[in-house]
Amino acid sequence: MTSGDTVEEAKVPLLDCSSSTVQSKYGEDEKNLDPTWRVWIESKKLWHIVGPTVVSRLASFSTFFIAQAVAGHLGDRQLAAVSIASNVIIGINYGLLLGMASALGTLCGQAFGAKKHHMLGIYLQRSWIVLFLWCILLLPLYIFASPILRLLGQDPDISELSGTVSLWFIPLHFSFAFQFPLQTFLQSQLKTWSIAWASLVALLVHVVLCWVLVYPLELGVVGVAISLNFSWWVLSLGLFGYTVLGGCPDTWTGFSIEAFSGLWEFVKLSVASGVMLCLENWYYRVLILMTGNLKNAEIAVDALSICMNINAWEMMIPLAFFAGTGVRVANELGAGNGKGAKFATIVSVMTSVVIGLFFWLLIMIFHNEIALIFSSSKPVLEAVNKLSILLAFTVLLNSVQPILSGVAVGSGWQSYVAYINLGCYYLIGVPLGFIMGWGFNYGVMGIWAGLVGGTAFQTLILTIITIRCDWEKEAEKATTHVIKWADEKT
């Protein structure tokens, strides 16, 4: 092997699990590679992460999907109560904790790319500590859910039932702090199928337990909440068992007191990540709250909740690309390969857009039938049918935006993107929604259209930033950062 081959081989990312022939081809000068071949190689690496992540995210979200479908067949009030509890109370905390856990993706991904494997287990434990403390701080949202919802103008009966359900969701809330870091830790080292299998088992447990608690035992919405708690802890403990019982021998070496050092730096990055992602996650939760103040709120909330659930279910695919892109970009930057990070971004965006176009077309064709999963109420079905065109375009727009956020996570830009999200979502999108919803009397369609405008503006800004990025400079910063953290904390 020549010295030139050695230099090129050093640039090969550490994530390629394909044949040695593929690794050899990828190690050649990029300018001499056929573009189709390069796309194929990068797609294999990307789908090695995205494929199992799609399975695990769809399985995990399907627990909420099934819970709301069951609640919808119990009655319109039950559907509205469970929808508000899961989309607003849980949704607010879910977005913040998932975002905070994504900081682990930056650190673990770059450390793995730089071969600092021993740091991944330390980062995981730091993330557990930080997220558990945040879970305690967020408890009042569950305890005082009913008065908070009434204060926000929601229907008193729905608020009362939502508050009851929210109290039963507290164990689920703490499972997020335990599970999200585990998922990010495993994704960063391509242990994605372990997450997928654990998620499928948890989904099966949820389906069986939900049916038993709601129908034979007649526990209603409380039974729905209990089944969600149990299934998510099955998933959390399954991932924990895999990690500590030999699934990650290079990156998990046991609990360490070192996890308590450097916490403040970790908190700052975690909060930046949490704010970035939760501003996105909360955005459409605001839509549910705004709709709750319209006339005939029960039907409006039911219809919108159905659309949001369909959107969120499909969103699991772009979110898998969010995770996959974050890992690919972080690993390439950690390995000092700026061109590889740029190319991974291009392939990920192109692939996600094609999938988004497919689902856009699917919704446009079946707009009359999509609500039947959740409800047989004629007013609700008619309301969903009217909203379907906005649902289709939201799905299409969301095929780009999360991938660009994944680039931000992989590159460590969370704090900058948080400001962009704040401006586009809450200074442009929400006011525009108010103006169109109430000022022009377009109701829920106007509110939603305004919020879509904010998302479009945010996506445009992130696109410009990504196009203008100096990837070689980002790679240099990433490798310096990883070495600094590893040297200081070990």
Model confidence pLDDT, tens digit, residues 131-154: 999 899 999 989 998 998 888 777
Is the pLDDT reported for residue 207 higher than 70?
Answer: yes
Residue 486 has pLDDT above 70, yes or no: no
Q: Which of 100-114, 231-245, 364-378, 409-423 has the highest mean pLDDT?
A: 231-245
Q: Which residue has the higher pLDDT, 364 or 118?
A: 364
The whole-chain average pLDDT of the chain stands at 81
On the question of pLDDT at 80 being above 80, the answer is no
Looking at beta carbons, which pairs linking 483-489 to residues 24 or more positions away fall under 8 Å? 483/114, 483/116, 485/107, 485/111, 485/119, 485/262, 486/111, 486/114, 486/116, 486/119, 488/262, 489/119, 489/122, 489/258, 489/261, 489/262
| Residue 445 banded pLDDT, cuts 50, 70, 90 | confident
Rounded mean pLDDT, 411-420: 79
Split at pLDDT 50, 70, 90, the class of 111 is confident
Stronger pLDDT, 230 or 287, i.e. the higher one: 230
- Residue with the bigger pLDDT between 415 and 135: it is 135
pLDDT at 488 over 60: no
pLDDT, one tens digit per residue, over 162-174 is: 888 889 999 999 9
Q: What is the mean pLDDT of residues 97-119?
A: 79
* Mean local confidence (pLDDT), 177-193: 89
pLDDT band (50, 70, 90) for residue 265: confident
Number of CB atoms found within 10 A of residue 274's CB: 25
Q: pLDDT tier at 361 (50, 70, 90 boundaries)?
A: very high
Mean pLDDT for the stretch of residues 333-348: 87
**Residue 486 vs residue 326, higher pLDDT:** 326
Decide if pLDDT at 128 tops 90: yes
Q: How many CB atoms lie within 10 A of CB 291?
A: 22
Between residues 45 and 489, which one has the greater pLDDT? 45
pLDDT above 80 (res 5): no
If pLDDT is split at 50, 70 and 90, which confidence band does 232 have?
very high
Give the pLDDT confidence score for residue 8 in this predicted structure.
37
409: exposed, middle or buried (C-beta count within 10 Å: 0-12, 13-18, 19+)? buried
In 3D space, the residue among 165, 176, 168, 173 whose CA is nearest the CA of residue 139 turns out to be 173
Lowest mean pLDDT among 25-34, 189-198, 405-414: 25-34
Residue 19: pLDDT band (50, 70, 90) is very low
| DSSP code per residue over 413-461 | -HHHHHHHHIIIIIIIIHHHHHIIIIIS--HHHHHHHHHHHHHHHHHHH
User: Given this model, what pLDDT does residue 26 score?
Assistant: 40
Query: Which is more confident, 274 or 348?
Result: 348
Quick one: angle between helices 338-365 and 378-397, nearest 10?
A: 150
Mean pLDDT computed over 173-182:
93
Would the pLDDT of 414 be above 80? no
Residue 200: is its pLDDT beyond 90?
yes
pLDDT over 70 percentage in the chain: 88
Between CA 207 and CA 195 the distance in angstroms is 18
Predicted confidence at residue 3, as pLDDT, reads 37
How does residue 355 score in pLDDT terms, banded at 50, 70 and 90?
very high
Other Cβ atoms less than 10 A from the Cβ of 487: the count is 9
